Amino acid sequence: MRFLNKRNILLLIAIVVATILFDRYRLYRKTYEELTVAFKNQKIEYGSNAAAKDLIIESHGELTVDQDIDSYSIGEQELTVTVKAESPRYHQTVSRTYSQIYEVTDTQAPIIEFKKDTIVKYVGTDYDPKENIERIYDVVDGDITDYTIGGDYDLQNKGIYNVTVTATDRNGLTSEASYCLTIRNKVIMNTGEAYQYIYDRLTGDYGFSRAAACGILANMSYESSFNPTVGDYYYGLIQWGGGRRDSLVSWCGANGYEYDTIDGQLAFMYHELTGGYRATYDFLMSVPDTAQGAYDAGEYFCRYYEVAASVSARPDLAAAYFNGE
């Protein structure tokens, strides 16, 4: 076996080693190429879940996170992960690193909540516009206590004003919201047993809402101070005059009522409202049961049922009755 000399043996060993090394590299490279990661390509909302497992579509190999995303920090950030596996036959640990740039953005401006959309106050009263703020907050960071209140409201003058609240969150997003502040003239409220009795009859027996009843009561207060026998040519709770006064007397007599009583006059008023003054009745039944609804009821009743020369402060009085002020 002359060919198995020392030189040939060394050459054979070299070939075997080279073959093994090449095979080992081939398997390493094959394993390396199979280590893959597919990232979701999207922006991340501030404060949301930014766990790596939720940002990776799929991966091949054992996955570890080298650098995660902080969703509470605005701006571009890098998610870095490593996948590894063991190549066959030679049991080499093969690893591969991947990274993806994500942008953390805040798209949710502060939320401003009011207790009411409309606040009614009277000339000369004290009022802090903060009283109507229910809550100002960021959905991630919680309550915001640093905000500004603006508006041209004047507590000394009647008018309808906007109160504007502006708030900015920690990331610079700003929200603005407004509510209506209505300043009305002060009114002198006439209440007592007759007022309460009429209110109970209007809301109980005749089915009017609190707002509608307060609108009617405000007009009765102006016309008669709830006295059913006041007046002559213009007479009673509503101060019916001329032919309407005659109709009051005749209708009450024909329907078993005394024309000079609260019960008789309320019954006649209801008769008129559901008859020739049906439009007024329908309006009263449609107003929202709010202070504004009482205000509107007082004005409409005056203009189209009373047909008074002046509305005056009747709507303000109606709203005051509603609010119990």
At 110, list the tokens: 């502060």
Q: Is residue 3 part of a domain?
A: no
In a domain, residue 161? The reply is yes
Buried b (16+ CB within 10 A) or exposed e, 95-133: ebebebebebebebbbebebeeeebbbbeeeeeebeebb
* 221 & 145 share domain: no
CA proximity to 292, closest of 180, 194, 189, 207? 180
- What's the maximum distance between 2 C-alpha atoms anywhere in the chain? 152
Q: pTM of the predicted model, to two decimals?
A: 0.55
Do residues 143 and 202 both lie within one domain? no
Nearest to 219 by CA among 297, 137, 161: 297
Residue 101 lies in a domain: yes
Backbone angles phi, psi at 170, to 5 degrees: -65, -20
Instruction: Give the model's pLDDT for residue 190.
Output: 66
Strand order in the sheet with 147-151: 118-122, 174-184, 159-168, 147-151
Three-class secondary structure of residue 119 per DSSP: strand
228 and 248, same domain (yes or no): yes
- Domain with 126, as residue range(s), is 115-184
Phi, psi of 152 (to 5 degrees): -105, 25
Q: What is the mean pLDDT of the chain?
A: 90
90 with 143, same domain: the answer is: no
| 22 lies in some domain | no
Angle at 72 between CA 69 and CA 73, to 5 degrees: 75
Are both 284 and 209 inside the same structural domain? yes
Cα→Cα distances 215→50, 88, 199, Å = 58, 91, 11
**pLDDT tens digits, residue range 180-205?**
998 876 655 566 788 989 998 999 99
Least reliable range by pLDDT among 17-26, 114-123, 142-151: 17-26
Which pLDDT belongs to residue 162?
93
In this predicted model, what pLDDT tens digit does every residue of 168-179 receive, in sequence order?
A: 999 999 999 999
Claim to verify: residue 134 and residue 245 sit in the same structural domain:
no
**Where a domain ends, among 184, 212, 243?**
184
Output 269 or 92, whichever has higher pLDDT.
269
Please tell me the total count of domains within the chain: 3
Mean pLDDT of all residues in 204-224: 95
